[in-house]
Amino acid sequence: MSLSKNPKNPLSGVRYEHLVAGVSGGVASTLILHPLDLLKIRFAVSDGATSAKPHYTGLMQAMVQIFRHEGIKGLYRGVTPNVWGAGSAWGLYFLFYNTIKSWFQSGNSKVDLGPGLHMVAAAEAGVLTLVMTNPIWVVKTRLCLQYSDGGTGKVLQESHRYNGMVDAFVKTYKYEGVRGLYKGFVPGIFGVSHGALQFMAYEEMKTKYNKYRNLPIDAKLTTAEYLAFASLSKLFAAVTTYPYQVLRARMQDQHAHYDNLRHCIRETWRLNGLLGYYRGLSPNLMRVVPATALTFVVYEKTSHFLLQFRKAEEPNQEEHAS
């Protein structure tokens, strides 16, 4: 389709309902599945080269060891910035994505964009979201990697010992500046392809399915159908782009020091080989597939309810105006 037919104002498609629905989905899934996210991060940065990190042999052994040395609180380290990060990231992502998508469609939700424009919309939304949320992910990663003495036998230096989310923000900025808050940004940019692939697959599956049923492409689906399409699209994107998450976590790790992304890639290969780029994949899949399915279902149901509420309110507003 020709983009010249689009409305001149790209903000005309902004709907706060997408922001609220995205935040709701992100927060719900994060609160339920945070321990698996913590395990993914700890496995991702475990390169066998740093004595300050505990070593895990499997998911159950890691879960038991963390619980034994750090208690239930240990399994929820970093949950506050994770809730803030996931809530704001999903909210902003859905807001930006649907705004850009609506602009491409000239406001007509029944226009089929195809896989190319779906990927473009998702990629642009991903970059905008990352710019705004990267500092939160740095803090979340560092809080998840704050081990107890029982796990490492080593006391962290003051600059790397955090008493919570705000303290982590302050100390990261104090000792490392703005650059410290944007560590892992470059591999995060590569990770935009993850969201682009996921949303492209999700949208295309919904579109093809509705066409098969001879329904409009924006027809609402059942909860089971949303769960199936969200899970399949996330599985596809996660396996395809997982290495960037390992590299980003390692660059954000306060226990490791890499000169740049190339250095991180080289050291990961030297120490762990090809499998090093897929460390933590199992707990990641165990978390992200159900988390994404839950996020998308909450988002779809909440946004549909809010948008229907808006439509019901608009005629009333027009009546009062007349």
Phi-psi region of 164 (alpha: psi -120 to 50; beta: other; left: phi over 0): left
When divided into structural domains, the chain yields a total of: 1
CA distance 99 to 156: 44
Residue 150: the pLDDT is: 44
234, 289 in Cβ contact below 8 A? yes
Q: What confidence tens digit (pLDDT) does each residue in 2-47 have?
A: 444 455 555 555 677 888 888 888 888 888 888 888 887 777 777 6
Provide the b/e sequence for 258-290 (b: ≥16 CB within 10 Å): beebeebbebbeeebeeebbbbbbebbbebbbb
Residue 315: the pLDDT is 60
Q: Is residue 301 part of a domain?
A: yes
Per the domain annotation, does 45 fall within a domain? yes
What whole-number distance in Å separates Cα of residue 57 and Cα of residue 246? 18
Q: Distance between CA 53 and CA 218 in Å, rounded?
A: 48
Residue 226 lies in a domain: yes
Least Cα distance to 218 among 110, 98, 310, 95 occurs for 110
String of DSSP letters for 101-125: HHHHTTT-TT---HHHHHHHHHHHH
Q: Is residue 322 part of a domain?
A: no
Residue type (1 letter), 123: A
200 within a domain of the structure (yes/no): yes
The domain that contains 55 carries what CATH number? 1.50.40.10
Question: Over the stretch 72-104, which tens digit does the pLDDT of each residue have?
Answer: 888 888 788 888 888 888 899 999 998 999 888
pLDDT for 149: 52
Per DSSP, the chain holds a count of helices (H) and strands (E) of 12, 0
* Residue 80, both tokens: 């506050």
Residue 294, pLDDT score: 86
Q: Are 85 and 132 in contact (CB under 8 A)?
A: no
Q: Which domain holds residue 178?
A: 3-314
Give the DSSP letter string of 209-260: HHHHTT--TT----HHHHHHHHHHHHHHHHHHHTHHHHHHHHHH-TT---SS
Residue 284 in contact with residue 238, Cβ under 8 Å? yes
- Whether 320 is in a domain gets the answer no
pLDDT at 17: 84
According to the model, what pLDDT value does residue 232 have? 93
Distance of CA 274 to the CA centre of its chain: 24
Q: Is position 319 within any domain?
A: no
What pLDDT is attached to residue 161?
A: 76
Residues in the chain where the model's pLDDT stays below 70:
1-14, 47-54, 147-160, 313-322
Q: Within 10 A of 241 (CB to CB), how many other CB atoms are there?
A: 18
